Structure 1
Amino acid sequence: MGSRFLRHQHLWAGTAMVMALGITSTAYAQEATTDDQSTELKPIVLTTEKGGRVADSPQTQTTERAKIQERMVTDFKDFARRIDAGVNFNSNTKSVNIRGLQDQRVLTTIDGIRLPWLTDPRDSAQGGVNSFDFDSLSSVDITKGADSSRYGSGTLGGVVELRTLNPEDLIEEGKNFGALTKTTYDSADQSAGGNAAIAGRFNDSWLLVQGGYKKGHETENQGHIGGYGTTRTEANPADFVQKNLLVKFHQYLEGGHRFGLTADLFNRDEDFDNMRGTTSSYEQGGFKSGEEVDRKRFSGSYDFISPDGTDIVDQASVNIYWQKEKLNNTTDAIRLIDPRAFAPGGAGWHYGPPYGVYKRDNMIEQTSYGITGNAEKELEIGGVAHEFRFGGELYWQKTHQYSSGVDNCPDVDWTTVPQPYGPQSCRLLHSNASDMPDVDSVVFGAFVEDDIKLMDNRLTITPGVRFDWYSHDPKSTAAFERSPNYDPSYLNSNDDFGISPKLRFAWQATPELELFAQYARGFRAPTVTELYQNYGAPGSYARIGNPDLETETSNGFEIGAKYAGTDYSVSATVFNNYYRNFIDTVTIAPPGGEYPIGGITGYDNINKVRIYGIELAGEWRFHPHWRTWGSFAWTNGRDSETGAYLNSVAPLRAIVGLGYAQETWGTDVSLTMAADRDKVSGSGFEAPGYGIVDLSAWWAPEQIGEVDVKGLKVQAGVFNVFDKKYWDAVSVPDGTTIASRDYYSEPGRTFKVSISKKF
């Protein structure tokens, strides 16, 4: 992994420069700005905040940067713990989990561009949707459930829309300069990092440069057994470095036009001393592993707002982009040889050499380029008010997977070696080959919906429909042909289309209260890994894709209410979703025959799955300076034909918080609770319930002595105050035993401190 750090180093040279620029610009900033007592960033005021987003859905909950910073949220785990009980993050697969669905069934976008969740055929390199820095965000929008007429494939569970900072977020009205610096220490992973953003404007030209750097170690757990081997429950020692760089340029033109250019780079490189994974097969102290995620994005944008509403559209956004995401999972070890090793050359069976080099670099990358866009127009037709929204996307993708490495296995045909002779790992593993073909994909989607307002705008009926089409075309490569399981008849193209309607009724019962009901059909195309993976070798086992998979669909029903008053707000939703052709892992052939160790596993469509539940959220500002808030989510998911529970469904969770804030200081305390998860199938983990308390405080003085420190903010938090041992149910892999479960426990008592300064 270190060599890759050197290769990427030139990309991040600007990060340190950006941070230094932000820190050393204090004197200039004080001359260029006027009084400012807040460190919270203002939203865009000169143009639409939607910038590349589809118009807000009534099911969308927006969390602005101010709340993200106030709750000290630095990753999805924090978001799930301190903001929204209906959002979870699976640390094992590195994916967002909403309403019991995760991985490729929850769509994540950044500035309107899809962030793919990737996994290689070995389940080695996984993730990608967390390839960004929370300190680079302006807001996070969460839409739960499929809003079919807006987002398209991959949204069965929901959508996470990330918006990065714009120069308009930093530069206040009437000023030409803005900057923000922040330093954070987190004891959970002993990480320290800095972040800086600087923005300037000249007439109608705006520029932002933001960069971040963080360095840390392994995330704590509450295991107490050390040493080597599978009995270890302490976290494996680790070191990581995370870097990001964001550059944005906006140019405004007369008539409500804005053109933009964006460069967005992210890299996280983590190395482990795999002490728990070190068994009798590897030399103690000689088993290192690593994970790296690298993302690059370059895009051009166009945003328009009609100055007087007389144009063909009231507002529009278009984004043209190129993006490449690459995941690597590496192993660097000294492997001990099974004593019953085969001696080539007819020497028979004898004790093999004592050890040998074993290295792997399992990689998957996806390159995409395309265009997305949407627009809105309000019209009155026949005395009835309409608000039309329409848009679409067209993009191309190329997916490539490769496993490189060296090892000390004898170069023999393992199908000719009788069981149980020979190292079993040599029968299974192969390197310097691809476990799937390269796949070229084309995806197109288009939608239209209309808010029809009746009865003095108290009743809104919203019909909508989306059309999606995709085509995956596998290409055989020399690397794939080197795979022991290569089969040319396996390379079949896969394409399909879907039509997804939606119908929503909303009744404005009072100016504060809205009641709604919605039906939406969802759609998900199978991934290229599900279609074309072909990992394994004769004499061991095989994991294969299924080129004949059908698309998943869902029929979702929701009813709910939203109340937004002066002192309090409440929302409640009841949902019931039915899924068809649900793609799941199945056993194709049991162990035996050509694959004696593990048989053959693959993918197939399950006929029926049902997920239903309840979600509640609210806030009450019950006294000057005081507020309380809460979030509640309960979900149940089962295979409707077998009755088996879905192990990806989180147990009932709730968050309750209490806060006090004045102009220069404030404090918050929150209680996060989860019920026992006892409804699992097979070897699913039965997580015990828990309750954990988090406490935080902030201080934003105007002066310290005679020194003017306006814009300074100091935050500190103690999390899991009572050092409770607990498990995040969705992050614990199936098959985890009682003896090993502490390895997957969450951190005990930790603290976090940050110092920020806005200029």
Structure 2
Amino acid sequence: MRPTLLCAALSLALTGLLPVHAGSPDPDPADPADPADPSDSTATEFDRITVTATRTERALADVPNTVDIISRERMDELLVRDLKDLFRHEPGISVGSSIGRFGIGDIRIRGLGGNRVRIQTDGIAVPDAFAIGSFSNASRNFVDLDTLKRVEVVRGPTSSLYGSDALGGVVSFLTKDPSDYLKDGKDAYFDFKLGFESDWNGLFGGATAALGGERWSGLVAVGHRQGTETENQGEVGSSGAARTRPNPQQRDGRSLLSKLVYTPDQGQRFKLVVEGNEDGADTDLLTLRGLQPMTGANNLSVTADDHQTRARVAVVHEMDMVDAGFADSLDWQVYRQDSETTQDTSEVREVPASLFSPALRDRRDRRFNFDQRVYGLQANFRKAFEGAVRHDLAYGIDLSRTRIRQKRDGLRTFLDTGATTPVMLPDAFPVRDFPISETSNAALYLQDEVGFAGGAFRLIPALRIDHYQLQPEVDAIFAEDNPGVAVAEISQTSVSPKLGAVWRFAPGWSLFAGYARGFRAPPYNDVNIGFTNVQFGYTAIANPDLRPETSDGLEAGLRYGSRVLFAELTGYYNRYDDFIESMAVVGFDPVRQLLVFQSRNVAEATIYGAEARAGLDLGALSGALQGWSLRGAAAWSRGDNETEDVPLDGVEPPTASLGIAFQREAWGAELAARFVGRRDRLPSASDPQPGAEPVRAFESPGYGVLDLYAHWRFAPGVRLDAGLFNLGDRKYFYAGDVPLVAADSVQLDRYTAAGRNLALSVAVEW
């Protein structure tokens, strides 16, 4: 049974339990996610509340990190449908995608992405990413953003609170609660949304229902989306490698979020959470048709059917007034999360006749499967006490156990005879590229916020201890595909300290600074991978001696906030030791005549940079400008592999955004500009042959793009949002979407972003 079927069944059970009587549940105290929260205005930007930066509710002005908060209201204004939309105007944060088939991939923060950034939903990490070869790519794009009430991003190493995955930062998705809608005596709430996006002919719809009584309340939110391939500005529509238009694609997806909340008294809540997400895509890979130089075969057709699911069940308990010696408040949750990615590829090929063999036609069907199941327990405690100074303690435990399985299967059918075989060189299917793996993590963290001078100066030390174990399981599939390969177990303990400080030295002004230690445990697939391609002359071997990645990060900044202006300037420097470079060329096997790939530790890498953001309420300066405001941000960073003196190609070029907005009670509009510099710090596009010059890689040019947004509440409970993107219809490239290709490649336009496009959304609530 698919995980989403489990979610649907449990959701129906929950909705049957919801009462329809008068009364409303007690709202979460100091809930910062209320769509009408006045802290969303630019005038009080640093009064906004974050719970991710310190695992306690703190105003942005009181945390020693750079934190971004994107509210539900802001997501609606920007017509956010996917991760690219979400971070479109957030310099320093980028979203990569694989052009053509696999779509959105990872989130990068200050140059680090993939599994080095912790992405979590209600505190539970989303599944890992994994990719191997041209037909296998499991991404981390598992969350329907319409189910969220808020997104928080903590930039930089955050391992002292979140462990291994937080080497680059944390992206925290917080889902809707019944209390977000059942306010002011309401015992029922309903809304319905419909929308359209022209760049992928996308249609989407969603509905939310929240019901509540004095003790019980609940919420169910469902969503559906469907569309075609995302447009670009390529013009070549033929089949084959020269094609630059997108491959034809049909996409659809659906999501479910349901919560049942029991409130026995004002100070505590029990929650049962069931969440599921499912996406699918069918693609006609026209770019892979025609003669394939590597094999000499002529591809007559290549089609793909990709599917991914994620399901989460959690039981949560929150207590606000514990009034005990060990805690003033606490929360804990137990959970299970299942995810699965299945990708099918069908390839019909023809090998022309030669002097030594007749023509050969065959169909090659491949299947890639990657699934994870995780069980976990989290508990967080908070305790404040006064002495000579004030202490706000936060401490807790994180326990999780994850089972990861990956398999590739295939069948080759000879079309002239009907004969079949599982052998498709270099593979004899089924195969596993790493053994079934079970990872366990046990962690304890402690943080103290020490307040001096009435809270004007805050010192924030933190420490987390993680114990990580990897236990591989060699089954018959892995053993047959990797004869004689010994797998390695790992048992490691890491200590991640942090020290931050915030000084409010004058009204509206504050300085912050901090040191943070980060780490990332060696990934299971890098430790025990096994893959050999004799036909193309290479092999990938395991590295049981991989050491954990570690980082030492420094960050400092200056903030100012008032009713008129907010501004923040931040500088950071991160040094990474034993940086893991996956599948690097490490030598040549003269016996088997194979090039050898292996994951390895790079002795030292650095990423450093500066970020700035500001906002101005023009109406506070002059009555004639009432309703007008300005908002801007910029980021610059540089990354280097210090060991080999080459740039880190994941670091984005300089980026900036600028917006001018006008707001009235019933309507508003915003003109937003995005600016990106040239991506000119790249390695060569390919390793040069002996005596030959390296092939120069394509450097995506800089650009500036204008977007226009508008919203209008034209009737009670009815809202229209509209967006017109790339007003000038400019041809440009998202730097992170362009692979290392030659500067003179005929395929470059394949990686362009969409031209001028439109998005519309209508929402009705009652």
TM-score bracket, normalised by the shorter chain, equals 0.7 to 0.9
Q: Which residue of 1 aligns with 2:55?
A: 54
2: CA distance between counterparts of 1:352 and 1:250? 69
2:748 is aligned with what amino acid? R
Closer/same/farther in 2, CA of residues 125 and 139 from structure 1, 3 Å limit: farther
1:303 is aligned with what amino acid? E
Would you say the 8 A contact 2:657–2:674 is kept in 1? yes
Residue 355 (str. 1) matches residue 355 (str. 2): no
2: CA distance between counterparts of 1:754 and 1:72? 7
Residue 559 (str. 1) matches residue 556 (str. 2): yes
1: CA distance between counterparts of 2:590 and 2:763? 62
Q: Which moved further from structure 2: 676-685 or 513-522?
A: 676-685
Closer/same/farther in 2, CA of residues 44 and 353 from structure 1, 3 Å limit: farther
Local SS of the residue matching 1:677: coil
Q: Which residue of 2 aligns with 1:667?
A: 669
Q: Which residue of 2 aligns with 1:698?
A: 711
1:17-48 CA deviation, whole Å, 9 max, x = no partner?
99x99xxxxxx99x99xxxxxx9835799xx9
Q: For 1:183-202, list aligned pairs within 5 A.
A: 183-202=194-213
1: CA distance between counterparts of 2:50 and 2:556? 28
Closer/same/farther in 2, CA of residues 640 and 51 from structure 1, 3 Å limit: closer
Q: Which residue of 2 aligns with 1:415?
A: none
1:337-367 CA deviation, whole Å, 9 max, x = no partner?
3646xxxxxxxx9324431111111111111
2:700 is aligned with what amino acid? A
Q: Which residue of 1 aligns with 2:454?
A: 456
Q: For 1:258-337, list aligned pairs within 5 A.
A: 258-281=269-292, 286-306=301-321, 312-337=326-351
Closer/same/farther in 2, CA of residues 181 and 736 from structure 1, 3 Å limit: farther
Alpha-carbon distance, 1:8 to partner: 7.6
Q: 2:601 aligns with which of 588, 605, 614?
A: 605
Would you say the 8 A contact 1:439–1:473 is kept in 2? yes
Residue 151 (str. 1) matches residue 162 (str. 2): yes
Q: Which residue of 2 aligns with 1:416?
A: none
1:265-312 CA deviation, whole Å, 9 max, x = no partner?
1110111100001232566662101322211111111111017x5664
Q: 1:90 aligns with which of 89, 96, 109?
A: 96
2: CA distance between counterparts of 1:149 and 1:389? 12
Residue 65 (str. 1) matches residue 72 (str. 2): yes
Would you say the 8 A contact 1:257–1:304 is kept in 2? yes
1: CA distance between counterparts of 2:761 and 2:591? 60
Would you say the 8 A contact 2:363–2:414 is kept in 1? no
Q: Which residue of 1 aligns with 2:30?
A: none
Local SS of the residue matching 1:154: helix
Residue 74 (str. 1) matches residue 85 (str. 2): no
Local SS of the residue matching 2:640: strand
1: CA distance between counterparts of 2:394 and 2:552? 22
Alpha-carbon distance, 1:685 to partner: 4.2
Local SS of the residue matching 1:174: coil
Q: 1:482 aligns with which of 477, 480, 483?
A: 480
Q: Which residue of 1 aligns with 2:694?
A: none
1:208 is aligned with what amino acid? L
Q: 2:639 aligns with which of 627, 637, 642?
A: 637
Local SS of the residue matching 1:66: helix
1:405 is aligned with what amino acid? G
Q: Which residue of 2 aligns with 1:707?
A: none
Q: What TM-score does the superposition give when structure 1 sets the normalisation length? A: 0.88
Alpha-carbon distance, 1:314 to partner: 2.3
Q: Which residue of 2 aligns with 1:417?
A: none
1:209 is aligned with what amino acid? V
Local SS of the residue matching 2:647: coil
Residue 492 (str. 1) matches residue 488 (str. 2): yes
Would you say the 8 A contact 1:581–1:607 is kept in 2? yes
Local SS of the residue matching 1:531: helix
1:393-444 CA deviation, whole Å, 9 max, x = no partner?
110011101111111489xxxxxxxxxxxx9x94334422222210111111
2: CA distance between counterparts of 1:79 and 1:387? 33
Closer/same/farther in 2, CA of residues 272 and 8 from structure 1, 3 Å limit: farther
2: CA distance between counterparts of 1:208 and 1:269? 26
2: CA distance between counterparts of 1:165 and 1:553? 35
Q: Which residue of 2 aligns with 1:568?
A: 565
Residue 687 (str. 1) matches residue 727 (str. 2): no
Alpha-carbon distance, 1:326 to partner: 1.2
Alpha-carbon distance, 1:248 to partner: 0.6
Closer/same/farther in 2, CA of residues 670 and 608 from structure 1, 3 Å limit: same
Local SS of the residue matching 2:454: coil
Would you say the 8 A contact 2:11–2:274 is kept in 1? no
2: CA distance between counterparts of 1:147 and 1:9? 32
1: CA distance between counterparts of 2:332 and 2:73? 27
Residue 547 (str. 1) matches residue 544 (str. 2): yes
2: CA distance between counterparts of 1:44 and 1:133? 25
1:350 is aligned with what amino acid? F
2: CA distance between counterparts of 1:547 and 1:686? 36
Closer/same/farther in 2, CA of residues 724 and 674 from structure 1, 3 Å limit: same
Would you say the 8 A contact 2:244–2:748 is kept in 1? yes
Would you say the 8 A contact 2:712–2:721 is kept in 1? yes
Would you say the 8 A contact 2:159–2:165 is kept in 1? no
Closer/same/farther in 2, CA of residues 532 and 221 from structure 1, 3 Å limit: same
Q: Which moved further from structure 2: 57-66 or 464-473?
A: 57-66
Would you say the 8 A contact 1:43–1:169 is kept in 2? no
The gaps in structure 2 that reach 5 residues or longer are 25-32, 40-48, 99-103, 416-420, 620-625, 686-696
2:175 is aligned with what amino acid? T
Alpha-carbon distance, 1:14 to partner: 7.6
Overall identity of the aligned pairs, in %: 26
1:726 is aligned with what amino acid? Y
2:334 is aligned with what amino acid? I
Alpha-carbon distance, 1:206 to partner: 1.0
Would you say the 8 A contact 1:15–1:211 is kept in 2? no
Residue 469 (str. 1) matches residue 467 (str. 2): yes
1:725 is aligned with what amino acid? K
1: CA distance between counterparts of 2:8 and 2:574? 48
1:501-557 CA deviation, whole Å, 9 max, x = no partner?
111121111231110110110010121111122122444422233222100000000
Alpha-carbon distance, 1:477 to partner: 0.8
Residue 756 (str. 1) matches residue 753 (str. 2): no
Alpha-carbon distance, 1:369 to partner: 0.5
1: CA distance between counterparts of 2:137 and 2:451? 45
1: CA distance between counterparts of 2:413 and 2:683? 40
Closer/same/farther in 2, CA of residues 289 and 452 from structure 1, 3 Å limit: same
Would you say the 8 A contact 2:252–2:280 is kept in 1? yes
Local SS of the residue matching 2:732: coil
Would you say the 8 A contact 1:51–1:317 is kept in 2? no
Q: Which moved further from structure 2: 502-511 or 573-582?
A: 502-511
Local SS of the residue matching 2:85: helix
Alpha-carbon distance, 1:642 to partner: 2.0
1:364 is aligned with what amino acid? F
1:266 is aligned with what amino acid? N
1: CA distance between counterparts of 2:169 and 2:175? 20
2: CA distance between counterparts of 1:537 and 1:505? 53
Aligned alpha-carbon RMSD (Å): 3.0
Local SS of the residue matching 2:286: coil
Local SS of the residue matching 1:168: helix
1:336 is aligned with what amino acid? E
2: CA distance between counterparts of 1:199 and 1:64? 19
Alpha-carbon distance, 1:486 to partner: 3.5
Would you say the 8 A contact 1:365–1:399 is kept in 2? yes
2: CA distance between counterparts of 1:526 and 1:328? 25
Q: What TM-score does the superposition give when structure 2 sets the normalisation length? A: 0.87
Alpha-carbon distance, 1:612 to partner: 0.1
Residue 584 (str. 1) matches residue 581 (str. 2): yes
Q: Which moved further from structure 2: 724-733 or 114-123?
A: 114-123
Closer/same/farther in 2, CA of residues 10 and 370 from structure 1, 3 Å limit: closer
Would you say the 8 A contact 2:317–2:331 is kept in 1? yes
